């Protein structure tokens, strides 16, 4: 496999993983519709952090200040992370 083919396979894997993340986040929005912010953030955190860990081959580290953030701050950071990795159409 040459470098172009390797990059193409990597891009396909990345896009597939991000699509799956967005799929599970959509399910969470439906199932957590009337839940409190803590429940919503905990669900998003599991999905986003698992996705990042998968994409980084197990080397993802939770931000060092994560436990000191409010749920509003965590939610905002998760939303920014989701937006930054989701391909623009």
Helix (H) or strand (E) run with residue 48 in it: helix 37-55
Q: Is 89 within the bounds of a domain? A: no
In this predicted structure, what is the pLDDT of residue 6? 81
**Residue 23 belongs to a domain:** yes
Range of the domain at 40: 3-84
Q: How many structural domains are present in the chain? A: 1
| Predicted local distance difference test score (pLDDT) of residue 16 | 93
Based on the number of CB atoms within 10 Å of its own CB, is 74 exposed (0-12), middle (13-18) or buried (19 or more)? Answer: buried
Residue 43 placed within a domain = yes
Ranges in the chain, pLDDT < 70: 89
């Amino acid at each position: 496999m040459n470098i172009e083919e390797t990059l193409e396979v990597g891009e396909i894997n990345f896009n597939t993983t991000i699509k799956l993340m967005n799929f599970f986040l959509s399910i969470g929005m439906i199932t957590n519709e009337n839940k409190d912010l803590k429940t919503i953030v905990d669900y998003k955190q599991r999905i986003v952090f698992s996705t990042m860990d998968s994409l980084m081959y197990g080397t993802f580290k939770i931000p060092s200040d994560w436990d000191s953030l409010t749920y509003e701050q965590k939610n905002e950071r998760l939303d920014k992370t989701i937006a930054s990795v989701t391909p623009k159409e």
